[in-house]
Amino acid sequence: MTINMKNFKITKWDPIDGLPPMLYLEGLYDDYEGFRLLLKGKNTADRLVKIKFESHIGYRNTDESNRLKMLCENPILTSQWTLFTSNNSDFLEWIIAQSSDTLDTSKIYINYIICTPNDIVEVLSAEEPSIEWL
């Protein structure tokens, strides 16, 4: 499968009411409880939000200063918002190539992009994660 980068579209993802526009990564966990992210607004009084993926194909976390090309090519990621999705991406293309055709490409994979002031976390999953306030 080859990704047509002309169809590469990033959209704002607003999965739960009341999210502050900017969130910070408080924790990233991949253990026996599953893969999950804890995010929080910049104010001390802001609550934590947990995003939990029951299943995922892969994820990567990169300091945002090392993803300047991605940020310049996708100005939406520099807006005052943190959560985005994409229908395809270079990350998905890379995973497909690395799998040597063992990945089920008949499924629709979503690239979840969590773009904080310090990190860019991307998660590939065929299933929508659960989101809850803590």
Closest C-alpha among 107, 65, 110 to residue 91 = 110
Give the contacts of 52 (CB within 8 A, at least 6 positions apart). 34, 35, 36, 129, 130, 131, 132
Taking only the tens place, the pLDDT of each residue in 111-120 is 999 999 899 8
| Residue-wise pLDDT tens digits, 27-81 | 999 999 999 999 999 988 889 999 999 999 999 998 776 576 676 777 778 888 9
**Lowest mean pLDDT, pick from 30-34, 91-95, 113-117, 123-127:** 91-95
Mean pLDDT, all residues of the chain: 86
